[in-house]
Structure 1
Amino acid sequence: MEPEASHHSDMFCAGTEDDPDIKVMMAGSTLRKVKSRSWKKQRHFRLLEDGMTIWYKSRWAGKGHSTFSVTEVEAVREGHQSELLLSIAEEFPANLCFTLVFHGRQGNLDLVADSPEEAQAWIQGVRKLIHKVQTMDEKERLDQWVWDWFHKADKNKDGKMNFKEVRKLLKMMNVDMNEDYALHLFTMADKSESGSLEIEQFVHFYKILTQRDEVWKVFQDYSGDGEKLMLEELENFLRIEQQEGERSAQHAEELIDCYETSESVKEQGAMSLDGFQMYLCSQDGSIFKPEHRELHQDMSQPLSHYFISSSHNTYLLEDQLRGQSSLEAYIQALKRGCRCVEVDCWDGSDGEPIVYHGHTLTSKILFKDVISTVKEYAFKASDFPVILSLENHCGVEQQTVMAEHLKLILGDMLLTTLVDGQIPQQLPSPEQLKGKILLKAKKIGGLEDCFDETMTDEVSDEEEDCDGESPSGEQPPAECLTQNDKKSKSKVSQDLSDLVVYCKSVHFHGFEHAYSHSKCYEMSSFSESKAKRLIREAGREFVQYNTRQLSRIYPSGLRTDSSNYNPQDMWSVGCQIVALNFQTAGLEMDLNDGLFRQNGCCGYVIKPDFMRDSSTLFSPEKPEEQQNYRPLRLSIQVISGQQLPKVNQKEGSIVDPLVRVEIYGLPQDQAREETSHINNNGFNPVWNETLNFILHTPKLALVRFVVEDYDKASRNDFMGQLTLPFTCIQAGYRHIHLLSKDGTAIPPASIFVNVNISELT
């Protein structure tokens, strides 16, 4: 059955319902959903009246249908822009095809329309709706969220809800409340005394339900009359609680202008409780310093002075043995701000080099397709340089083919000459290399003797992992099993060698050798086990080495499940290119996303000053010996939670949430503290518990806030998290806006905290 029209003239369609493309979407279209070359089935798609939900079903299936929200869609790609649509290009012309790309790790949806006009209507229509979602303010977002829930619970679609339906809805929303109290609130909202609530009344009911005592108390502390905050009172709050100092006066006016909902209160230059709550829940009230979100760091220092967001075996979407190799994996990594991608190249049977995880069952893709994809997506998230880390297993002939593809496809984007014509004493800066793609590979000779034809006999990165490091009993990686010693003498194609400028791969011969012989453009790769050994044995030397040269760390060959190591260990000695499996969600990718969330998500973060000076004596084991050693105390009062996501979709289950704060940094700073759990309340749990930490090296610390559903019998279930650098944390009353396991936003789920940062006296 078709979903019925809603009785509600919807606020979210405002301004779009007359749009011809939206009209086509609302009328509905039959589109082919393509899942493989053989699975192409017709489905009826339409946009529901809320202007947000796309509904689809097969024309023959019984009651089964699916829906997704426009908020889940990140982008629309036009034409044959997915591997799947490209593979059936002869069957369906490009002007009928489009792909919906979802946030996070959710798979894409490939669709084929019956006519070019219909395809265009859906492409343009969805783009307009995405734009609408992106430009919503906090109030509209919350209204949208409430409206979505109302729709989900209004089973008979009559635009009304009786008390029984409301009780059920509360359970769905993670609220377990006393029946009498719920009925009392319901009656207050049922102004017409009809025994049911329409959407506007439900919004009112929801408002009473979400009145937050803990925010009201803070408001009362600063409000003279208990009704509103006058400008001076708001300034006091910003200065004293939010520690905003000088800027509080001007900021108070800006906040009233932005968040106060009542015009009459605004005219008095004041802020009501509603406006105050709206401000606290907004980006301005978030724990993340707004100025640190933007690109704000000095980008003119040598590349070796930055941490660089880096991916390992970028072509894989799954595990290292049987997983699918895909261009999509490159697109996802680059869109997340990754600036160093890996390309594993092997001889193809028809003279075309291929990319896959050698000697495994992972599928294969063409090298030239990878390079085309990199060209298209390299600079969508950031203008700063992308490093192509080449894992070269090809013979000279196909290496020459690779060089041709690189030059032809990338053109001017590929950096093939010195930035200023000078042999460098230090690496160029991200600023100097904007819009450029750098090749990291073996090179014949050095930059000084570019025309010297002598061959070097360096080993490739993966062979370094085969140098007998594996603890006894462990299998060496697959790559090592079929290699013979001649490999290290293998020839490098002169054409490919000529394209390597600032990232020449060399074997690591120790820190002393590097100090006396190495050039700044020479870089080595270390397996995680080798890096950990060097950190243990010579942490200080590793920090010094990394002031001048780049080092790349990659996961052990034994991580066949694409799991990750903790990147913080490597960042603590200044390693720049700490490569992770981007396709694997979890703590390690949370840390990577957390570090690179600052500085405009550009993929480059400047290292602390004590890691950039070549004469540095900093040691991760003895932070107290550094100059300007100033440990800090971090105190976090975890006050309450708001609309936490359900973990278990079972009808009657409500979560028992707890909050844990984890510190990742130098060994001395690693710590975790957690609150107690609250029984049966994921809607508005209140903890009021304070967690304390001491940070010896705050500039290297990441703080991770995790919310879990407590379970005494088994492992707690993950509910949401946010990770950010300690240096980006704002003091005061703040909201932590939680992210899903995939790193995507899950509004309006948040944790309300009071943060205090002080010096140790």
Structure 2
Amino acid sequence: MDPPQLSRHKDDADLQVMMAGSTFRKVKSHSWKKPRHFRLLEDGLNIWYKSRWAGRGHSTFLVSDVEAVRQGHQSEVLQSIADEFPPNLCFTLEFRGRQGNLDLVAETPEEAGAWVRGMRKLIHKAKNMDEKERLDQWVWDWFLKADKNKDGRMNFKEVRKLLKMMNVDMNEDHAFYLFTMADTSMSSSLEIDEFVMFYKMLTQRDEVWKLFQDYSSDGEMLSRGELENILRIEQQEGDGCVEHAQELIDRYEPSEMARSQGSMSLDGFQLYLCSQEGSIFNTSHKDLYQDMSQPLSHYFLSSSHNTYLLEDQLRGQSSLEAYIQALKRGCRCVEIDCWDGPDDEPVVYHGHTLTSKILFRDVIATISEYAFKASDYPLILSLENHCGVEQQRVMAQHLELILGSLLLRAPLGGEAPQQLPSPQDLKGKILLKTKKIGCETLTDEVSDEDETVNPDPDSPSTDQGSAECPPDPSKKKAKLKMSRELSDLVVYCKSVHFRGFQHAQAHYKCDEMSSLSESKARKLAKEAGADFVQHNIRQLSRIYPSGLRTVSSNYNPQELWNVGCQIVALNFQTAGLEMDLNDGLFHQNAGCGYVLKPGFMRDSELPFDPETPQEHSGYAPLRLSIQILSGQQLPKVNQKEGSIIDPLVRVEVYGVPQDLAKEETSHIQNNGFNPVWNETLNFIVHNPGLALVRFVVEDHDKASRNDFVGQFTLPFTSIRPGYRHIHLLSKDGTSIPPASLFVNVSTSELTSGPD
């Protein structure tokens, strides 16, 4: 039996080259280039590599961890050696999440071409496998891991080790019983087909079997009508259940005979429940389902802070790759900190620190290439301008020459706007956000975010006033030093100092926006939430992390979304709760980086204060009930062979202050493979339109802090009721198949006041 991943490609010439192996130069810098031997393993899943001098030591990585292959000098590292190696020898493997690239140089163009084509085929295959193929591949992978002597069979000793590897501590007698049942050849060992049978017995899901039995009249099959009943009653899918039931049978039932009879077996039912159609996330919300024709100020934007950094903001590396990663994740507002550089070329880095420097022109070239790969909707460049006039002119030249027609240079229609244009109106356009000569007379410091030079993140800027924008008499002003050429490129995102909600309303211009530090913004949200919401109906607000966050940690963005702030900038390079919330909010709407704010945050006639949601005219709280049934194939935290996790599930709700809540299950001892909780957690959600729900799995430790296992975050409004699987993500926000939770979700209106 061929490995599933290779079954359709075993005669492919490129894959044959990969399986035979190749020696490449692995390149980390202009001076670090070392030979490594790479080959595709027989499973079609893993790439194995080692140093020719490293003895028996080697490493592997999964093909599914590679997101894309770039050919030629398509990375900073390979560009640095472009004069040494021609582009037809060079290629880059680009990994998911925050893992760095792998830059390689082949010995011949033919070998480089074979690996580039072969990797792209394998990546395409991995992305397009159906549920059964994914499961077959996963089972085959475990078989190869357990078959230590590589004889195509697995004895009971190997099975016992396998169970530890699979994160389950099973009674040895029971394990031997399942082994004997699967050993139909009575050879005291399992071949791959017998191992599949062993796996099916091992993964028998009593909770799924019970649901199946509740609706199956004969206990063997679900008729189409019985499946319709499940979809209507349990999954609460409403209209269209008849057609949907037949579609599910056609798509997931493995038996051709059952499909022809319009029936579904337990295997097919389980495949459906584990598929994306059985996911807790509303599949229709993965498409572009929101109205994109409203003013920009009516949307939340996925926004990055210090986008150029891969690490911390004191000594971290500045990199073009950081922009590529953010843009590919759907980010729609990136930050560029510009300083005067040598040879009249502006540089980008975190000023007055030891972070490395990159050329402004290279940043703009990278943005030009990647701006619209993940989303067609407008991209905002938040320019932190610390340059003198001469290099500002150079910046303006680079923006115009490199971005060309992508750069918006004048208002749509050529007239001063009465309200901001929509994402639809600005599709495919790049907007510049910085100071502009006009409303505010500027000082030597033309940046509106003083975090790099001032330890106090709430220190006022030194903007000088004009007739329309009164000056602050307590501040001594310096003379304007700003390039007219750069100023002229600012259209709808003119940075102005924030002088209060009253002043902003009295001097309202829709194309003016302010940047506020997190502490200033949080203070305003607490003291004047309703005013903040109203302000953000009309104008854009950008929030940035405190300059004191030297390790590039993040603040909780939910507090600022609660008052309608559109551009809540986070350090994308730092994993954790805050980025989970950001990813969860922007996972919807085709991941385009724009999410339409709830209606009550777009209507100036209906005041809303997140501190008192019950006073809003549209107040309609809901009860959320989540029965945590079971977990499947949870990843290990400690990779030692005998280590097995003790998993628990915590459900967290984020939203308006009254909605902040956490509830968790008990922990299951020594079972990360198929733990069963069957515990129900209940919540009252006062403002469903703003709420996010986060599911977290942890490894319980009574002596120290629990270890993170996986999580999944989604908007409350994207939750589907019924029996659903939650497909867990790693700390980096990447998928970790087939790890999942099985839950039963219900929501209901409150018949009486909240408890």
Same fold (TM over 0.5): yes
Shift of 1:422: 2.2
Residue 153 (1) aligns with residue 146 (2):
yes
Q: Does the CA-based 8 Å contact 2:298-2:602 persist in structure 1?
A: yes
Residue 629 (1) aligns with residue 619 (2):
yes
Shift of 1:319: 0.4
Q: Which residue of 2 aligns with 1:352?
A: 345
Residues 489-498 or 687-696, more deviating: 489-498
Pick aligned residue for 1:14 from 7, 26, 34: 7
Q: Which residue of 2 aligns with 1:245?
A: 238
Residue 503 (1) aligns with residue 523 (2):
no
Say which SS state the counterpart of residue 133 (structure 1) adopts: helix
Q: Which residue of 2 aligns with 1:463?
A: 450
Q: Which residue of 2 aligns with 1:711?
A: 701
Inter-CA distance 223–593: structure 2 relative to 1 (3 Å threshold): same
Amino acid at match of 1:386: L
Aligned ranges 1:112-131 → 2 under 5 Å = 112-131=105-124
CA distance in 2, matches of 1:476, 1:127: 51
Q: Which residue of 1 aligns with 2:182?
A: 189
Say which SS state the counterpart of residue 490 (structure 2) adopts: coil
Say which SS state the counterpart of residue 646 (structure 1) adopts: coil
Residue 428 (1) aligns with residue 421 (2):
yes
Any idea what the Cα deviations from partners look like across 1:597-630, whole Å, max 9, x if unmatched? 0000000000000001123310011111112211
Q: Which residue of 1 aligns with 2:320?
A: 327
Q: Does the CA-based 8 Å contact 1:476-1:558 persist in structure 2?
A: no
CA distance in 2, matches of 1:214, 1:648: 28
Shift of 1:666: 0.1
CA distance in 2, matches of 1:615, 1:421: 30
Q: Does the CA-based 8 Å contact 1:738-1:746 persist in structure 2?
A: yes
Q: Does the CA-based 8 Å contact 1:552-1:578 persist in structure 2?
A: yes
Shift of 1:50: 1.6
Q: Which residue of 2 aligns with 1:601?
A: 591
Q: Which residue of 2 aligns with 1:65?
A: 58
Inter-CA distance 550–488: structure 2 relative to 1 (3 Å threshold): farther
Amino acid at match of 2:574: T
Q: Which residue of 2 aligns with 1:515?
A: 505
Amino acid at match of 2:450: E
Aligned ranges 1:36-47 → 2 under 5 Å = 36-47=29-40
Pick aligned residue for 1:439 from 432, 439, 446: 432
Shift of 1:345: 0.2
Pick aligned residue for 1:226 from 219, 222, 225: 219
Aligned ranges 1:211-290 → 2 under 5 Å = 211-290=204-283
Q: Which residue of 2 aligns with 1:575?
A: 565
Shift of 1:490: 3.9
Say which SS state the counterpart of residue 351 (structure 2) adopts: coil
CA distance in 2, matches of 1:10, 1:281: 22
Gaps of 5+ in 2: 462-474
Q: Which residue of 2 aligns with 1:494?
A: 484
Q: Which residue of 1 aligns with 2:515?
A: 525
Shift of 1:419: 1.1
Gaps of 5+ in 1: 1-7, 447-453, 478-484
Say which SS state the counterpart of residue 383 (structure 2) adopts: strand
Q: Which residue of 2 aligns with 1:652?
A: 642
Say which SS state the counterpart of residue 333 (structure 1) adopts: helix
Shift of 1:653: 1.2
Say which SS state the counterpart of residue 720 (structure 1) adopts: strand
Q: Which residue of 1 aligns with 2:629?
A: 639
What is the TM-score normalised by the length of structure 2?
A: 0.96
CA distance in 1, matches of 2:619, 2:156: 61
Any idea what the Cα deviations from partners look like across 1:655-698, whole Å, max 9, x if unmatched? 10000000000000000000000100001110000000001100
Percent identity, please. Answer: 76
Amino acid at match of 2:16: K
Residue 673 (1) aligns with residue 660 (2):
no
CA distance in 2, matches of 1:288, 1:117: 44
Shift of 1:468: 8.8
Pick aligned residue for 1:541 from 523, 531, 534: 531
Aligned ranges 1:14-93 → 2 under 5 Å = 14-93=7-86
CA distance in 1, matches of 2:118, 2:334: 33
Shift of 1:339: 0.4
CA distance in 2, matches of 1:470, 1:392: 17
Shift of 1:470: 6.0
Q: Which residue of 1 aligns with 2:132?
A: 139
CA distance in 2, matches of 1:315, 1:468: 21
Amino acid at match of 2:704: S
Q: Does the CA-based 8 Å contact 1:312-1:580 persist in structure 2?
A: yes
Inter-CA distance 24–224: structure 2 relative to 1 (3 Å threshold): same
Inter-CA distance 425–274: structure 2 relative to 1 (3 Å threshold): same
Say which SS state the counterpart of residue 334 (structure 1) adopts: helix
Inter-CA distance 488–620: structure 2 relative to 1 (3 Å threshold): farther
CA distance in 2, matches of 1:547, 1:52: 49
Q: Does the CA-based 8 Å contact 1:544-1:615 persist in structure 2?
A: no
Q: Which residue of 1 aligns with 2:412?
A: 419
Say which SS state the counterpart of residue 177 (structure 2) adopts: helix
What is the TM-score normalised by the length of structure 1?
A: 0.95
Inter-CA distance 465–630: structure 2 relative to 1 (3 Å threshold): farther
Shift of 1:235: 0.7
Shift of 1:750: 0.4
Q: Does the CA-based 8 Å contact 2:386-2:446 persist in structure 1?
A: no
Say which SS state the counterpart of residue 624 (structure 1) adopts: helix
Amino acid at match of 1:463: D
Residue 368 (1) aligns with residue 368 (2):
no
Shift of 1:466: 7.8
Shift of 1:60: 3.0
Inter-CA distance 207–487: structure 2 relative to 1 (3 Å threshold): farther
Residue 748 (1) aligns with residue 738 (2):
yes
Say which SS state the counterpart of residue 161 (structure 1) adopts: coil
Any idea what the Cα deviations from partners look like across 1:327-361, whole Å, max 9, x if unmatched? 00000000000000000000002110000000000
CA distance in 2, matches of 1:525, 1:44: 50
Q: Does the CA-based 8 Å contact 2:302-2:332 persist in structure 1?
A: yes
Q: Which residue of 2 aligns with 1:208?
A: 201
Shift of 1:84: 0.8
Q: Does the CA-based 8 Å contact 2:253-2:268 persist in structure 1?
A: yes
Q: Does the CA-based 8 Å contact 2:457-2:548 persist in structure 1?
A: no
CA distance in 1, matches of 2:245, 2:272: 11
Q: Does the CA-based 8 Å contact 2:384-2:447 persist in structure 1?
A: yes
Q: Which residue of 1 aligns with 2:680?
A: 690
Say which SS state the counterpart of residue 292 (structure 1) adopts: helix
CA distance in 2, matches of 1:105, 1:83: 16
Any idea what the Cα deviations from partners look like across 1:557-581, whole Å, max 9, x if unmatched? 0000000000000000000000000
Shift of 1:41: 1.3
Shift of 1:154: 1.4
Q: Which residue of 2 aligns with 1:4?
A: none
Q: Which residue of 2 aligns with 1:735?
A: 725
Say which SS state the counterpart of residue 401 (structure 1) adopts: helix
Amino acid at match of 1:574: G
Residue 663 (1) aligns with residue 653 (2):
yes
CA distance in 2, matches of 1:465, 1:104: 27
Pick aligned residue for 1:296 from 269, 281, 289: 289
Shift of 1:476: 12
Inter-CA distance 355–220: structure 2 relative to 1 (3 Å threshold): same
Amino acid at match of 1:254: E
CA distance in 1, matches of 2:377, 2:490: 18
Equivalenced residue count is 737
Inter-CA distance 298–569: structure 2 relative to 1 (3 Å threshold): same
